[in-house]
Amino acid sequence: MARHLITSALPYINGIKHLGNLVGSQLPADLYARYLRGRGHEVMFICATDEHGTPAELAAAKTGEAVADYCARMHGEQAALARGFGLSFDHYGRSSSDRNRALTQHFAGKLADNGYISEVSEKQVYSIDDARFLPDRYIEGTCPNCGYDKARGDQCENCTKLLDPTDLIDPRSAISGSTNLEVRETKHLYLRQSALKDEIAAWIDSKTDWPILTTSIARKWLNDGDGLQDRGITRDVQWGVPVKRGDRDWPGMEGKVFYVWFDAPIEYIAATAEWADANGKTDADWRRWWRKDEGAEDVTYTQFMGKDNVPFHTLSFPATLIGSDEPWRMVDYIKSFNYLTYAGGQFSTSQGRGVFMDHALEILPADYWRWWLLSHAPESGDSEFTWENFQQSVNKDLADVLGNFVSRITKFCRSKFGETVPEGGAYGAEERALIEALTTRIRAYEGFMADMEVRKSAAELRAIWVLGNEYLQSAAPWSSFKTAPEKAAMQVRLGLNLIRLYAVLSAPFIPFTAKAMAEAMGTADAGWPDDVEQAMMALQPGHVFTTPDNLFAKITDDQRAEWEDRFKGVRK
């Protein structure tokens, strides 16, 4: 049994997340975690809300709440939606936790002690009307790289270029919209990433199995232009981790906090400590996942994220870990994703554009969305969500292929043999051929899942479902029953075992439906089918089952048209 640490990029606290956020990190991470657990591995699956920085302050200001109250409320809402989508986190933490505060200050102290932090006087935008500095997202303007007119002061949402507020063209205050701005001098801490460039480059070069998307972005930021730049890690805002050097005050940094992108990745570690606290564990229990000198040497660590997060996870966070000169577990594999687009543009939390997680669950169960999003995951390029494609995929894959198979087998068996597995007949040539084909497909499915090839895994799972339909159509137990009832009993028995098999294989993709299938077959604790032939004989004659309700209702044209119209604008 292997040990796997899995982290998903932390969603910002500033509102309900859209489907693009979901498929870009949390959902494929959950797919992988569920698969590994199904194979018997020990898994620690961690995520958290990213609560510091200007997005939280700006969002709280709009609602009139204190920022701490806003973050507490939104954490609860995001956690509930995560459960609604079946995201199986071992812990869903908060970057504002005491654990993260202490660890962030610890890393800053270690980096400073090792000479990797410098104090820099810099010029920063100051709003005269707001009487404050405007760091990061408190300032908006036109991106100097692509011309996007709603770029933020830390990063352009359109082209993903990292920015400083002073880079923006025609800047304005995100608080008041004021353009009455001037540049003033202030002092901040910088992480000396440039001093760690050779070590980071060697580490990236050693990752020969990473996706091209991940390594190309990492090398671009490492080598383009002047190469890896030192990065400011403090800001002139109130909401965040107070600047300290370990447990000591930092003279000259009073009133400042650490930059959100410095403390957010540290929350992966802190959230694991939060898991230990919440479950009556000791520090040794979480450190065995993160400290190589305390048991983490045999851990495989995998991160999932959208491509806009890659620079911070391949450069800045590794610089923090390497620069600490402590034996922290570094990531082994980064699975990155392109964007999911909507109606020709990007999903956007800040602009309220697209379908959001709460609205999605209002209109359809989670498995409908899980299946479409994963089977169309933006791996090799951007993917576009359209209501027509969504309708077709749900109706064909889920209703016509899987749902129809389960319905036909169980209802036929109930009408002819009752709700027990029927006795009679033995598997013949056609059944053995099916088992052989299933074995080939399942081994391929396992390979794609282990390699985190999400779309290929979905295609292989669908092909496994299709095999059952093709067998059922060819065997035609409803015809066999008229002349050879024992043969029909055998065919139905095989079909019921297929449902049990499908429940196990489908659980990573559609966990709610898989659970319903397993419970209907009376085998909620079924193990992974390492031996497919044995799995196809697991349900013996006399075993009691129930006939489940229709697993998937088809999406009608009227429903599609209604939803297309409802979600054509911005979130309301």
User: pTM of the full predicted structure?
Assistant: 0.92
- The SS3 call for residue 540 is coil
Q: Lowest-pLDDT range, 148-157, 189-198, 454-463, 484-493?
A: 148-157
What pLDDT does 161 receive?
86
pLDDT band at 572 (very low <50, low <70, confident <90, very high): low
What pLDDT does 225 receive?
65
Query: Could you give the percent of the chain with pLDDT greater than 70?
Result: 99
What pLDDT does 135 receive?
73
CATH topology assigned to domain 3-111+262-384: Rossmann fold (3.40.50)
Q: What is the pLDDT of residues 216-240, one digit of tens each?
A: 999 999 887 667 889 999 998 889 9
pLDDT beyond 70 at 67? yes
The H or E element spanning position 336 is strand 333-337
Average pLDDT of span 11-17: 92
pLDDT band at 123 (very low <50, low <70, confident <90, very high): confident
Average pLDDT of span 275-304: 98
* Integer Cα distance of 395 and 414 in angstroms: 25
pLDDT band at 488 (very low <50, low <70, confident <90, very high): very high
What pLDDT does 138 receive?
81
What pLDDT does 57 receive?
86
The H or E element spanning position 337 is strand 333-337
What pLDDT does 35 receive?
98
pLDDT band at 72 (very low <50, low <70, confident <90, very high): very high
User: What letter does residue 328 receive in the DSSP assignment?
Assistant: B
Q: What is the pLDDT of residues 380-407, one digit of tens each?
A: 999 999 999 999 999 999 999 999 999 9
Average pLDDT of span 12-38: 96
What pLDDT does 64 receive?
94
Which is more confident, 126 or 445? Answer: 445
Q: What is the pLDDT of residues 449-479, one digit of tens each?
A: 999 999 999 999 999 999 999 999 999 999 9
* Integer Cα distance of 494 and 324 in angstroms: 58
pLDDT beyond 70 at 432? yes
What pLDDT does 164 receive?
81
Q: What is the pLDDT of residues 310-336, one digit of tens each?
A: 999 999 999 999 999 999 999 999 999
Calculate the average pLDDT of the chain: 94
Handedness of CA 286, 288, 290, 291 (dihedral sign): positive
Instruction: Considering only the C-alpha atoms of the chain, give the largest distance between any 2 of them, rounded to a whole number of Å.
Output: 92
What pLDDT does 349 receive?
73
Distance of CA 308 to the CA centre of its chain: 14
Q: Which residues are annotated as a binding site?
A: 143, 146, 156, 159, 349
What pLDDT does 122 receive?
85
Token pair listed for 262: 């410095």
What pLDDT does 174 receive?
86
Amino acid, res. 431: E
Phi and psi, residue 23, nearest 5°: -80, -15
Domain ranges of the chain: 3-111+262-384, 115-232, 387-535
pLDDT beyond 90 at 40? yes
pLDDT beyond 70 at 560? yes
pLDDT beyond 80 at 106? yes
pLDDT band at 176 (very low <50, low <70, confident <90, very high): confident
User: Which CATH number applies to 115-232?
Assistant: 2.170.220.10
Average pLDDT of span 293-311: 96
- Fold agreement (115-232, 387-535): no
- Single out the residue of 502, 494, 501, 496 nearest to residue 475, CA to CA: 494
pLDDT beyond 80 at 408? yes
Q: Lowest-pLDDT range, 131-135, 289-293, 420-424?
A: 131-135
The H or E element spanning position 122 is strand 117-127
Q: Which residues are annotated as a binding site for Zn(2+)?
A: 143, 146, 156, 159
Q: The domain at 387-535 falls in which architecture?
A: Orthogonal Bundle (1.10)
Helix runs in 211-352, H state only: 212-223, 260-278, 283-290, 310-311, 317-324
Q: Which residues are annotated as a binding site for ATP?
A: 349
Q: Report the length, in residues, of the chain.
A: 572
Query: Could you give the percent of the chain with pLDDT greater than 90?
Result: 84
Average pLDDT of span 548-554: 95
